[in-house]
Amino acid sequence: MLKRTLFFSTPYRLSLKNMQLVAESKDNGEVRTVPVEDIGFVVLDNMQISVSLPLIETLVANNVAVVFSDSKHMPQSMLLNLDSHSIQTEIFRNQIDASLPLKKNLWKQTIECKIANQAKLLKILDRQSADILNLAKDVKSGDPDNREGTAARLYWPRLLGDSFTRDRFGDFPNELLNYGYIILRAAVARSLVGSGLLPTLGIHHRNKYNSYCLADDIMEPYRPYVDRRVFSLVKNNPEMFFLEKEHKAELLQVLTDDVMIDKMRRPLMVALSMTTSSLSKCYSGELKNIKYPEFK
């Protein structure tokens, strides 16, 4: 079942009653309820929101990713369940014991799919893409030739204009990409934890200050789905220069986008679970390939 994403940007009192999230507006007293079992994400984007501890306990127990925004309204932190899988210790051990050749092969698969999805997005938008698709076919184990970086230098100007440079701290619409990627990263981390994996221990990313190295790895082939949303926002709102509440709501919808994975059409949030489950099986030796989405 596709889980719901709840986005709170105004003052609310959030509590629990009969396994329902109860949201009471502090502005007008309006009350709404949502079954906890139907929720996948809760995004809290207002400093005047109050949340009860019983609700937090129940949300986490049901593997709901609770995302907190900072004073600048950007996602800053997230709650995740530390005990979410029945054989978590065994899965952790398989992940920790993964050999370097295995991790290099998994990274090769990841970058091949990312570059191919970038090329397919450009093709859908009638932009030059054949050379980028060829790069996807030339990725070696571990991507020692940095085909990922080569593809990025071709991809971004074609997607968002010759003057655009992808930079986390760069000019607009980098802010839109940042927000979309943060949401995607949270979704990937939730799926990793649900599959019993450690989001910290990556297959390629290994910065000691990064608590979500594996999430940063696995989200790569999914980034073009955020890019498509950002492209549409920029195209349909040419005078837009700031990230507004309605833009955040639009970017959150990426979690419900249909994707093709394992020859099936699934919502992105469901596809993520298929990807992370397949990764766990790669670590255990049951599978050789990660199941990633194919951009259509």
269-285 pLDDT tens trace = 899 999 999 999 999 99
Residue 223, pLDDT score: 97
The reported pLDDT for the residue numbered 72 is 79
Q: What distance lies between CA 95 and its chain's CA centroid? A: 20
pLDDT of residue 212: 85
Which pLDDT value is given to residue 244? 84
Buried b (16+ CB within 10 A) or exposed e, 249-276: ebbbebbebebebeeeebbbbbbbbbbb
| Mode of pairing for the β-strands spanning 31-35 and 293-294 | unpaired
Look at residues 296, 182, 265 and name the one whose alpha carbon lies nearest to residue 230.
182
CA distance 99 to 201: 13
pLDDT at 213: 92
Q: Indicate the pTM of the whole model.
A: 0.86
pLDDT of res. 73: 79
Number of other CB atoms surrounding residue 70 within 10 Å: 11
Which are the contacts of 220, defined by CB distance < 8 A and separation ≥ 6?
Answer: 110, 111, 113, 114, 148
CB-based contact 76:69 (threshold 8 Å): yes
Q: What is the pLDDT of residue 84?
A: 62
The confidence score (pLDDT) of residue 41 equals: 85
Spans in the chain with pLDDT lower than 50? none
**Of 87, 86, 67, 85, which Cα lies nearest the Cα of 77?**
67
The backbone torsions φ and ψ at residue 146, rounded to the nearest 5 degrees and listed phi first, read 55, 50
pLDDT at 86: 62
Q: How far is CA 258 from CA 11, 51, 143, 225, 272, in A?
A: 32, 32, 29, 10, 12
Give the H/E segment covering residue 276. helix 268-284
Task: State the residue for tokens 């396994």.
Answer: 19
Q: Which domains does the chain have, with CATH numbers?
A: 4-79 (3.100.10.20), 88-294 (1.20.120.920)
What percentage of the chain reaches a pLDDT higher than 70? 97
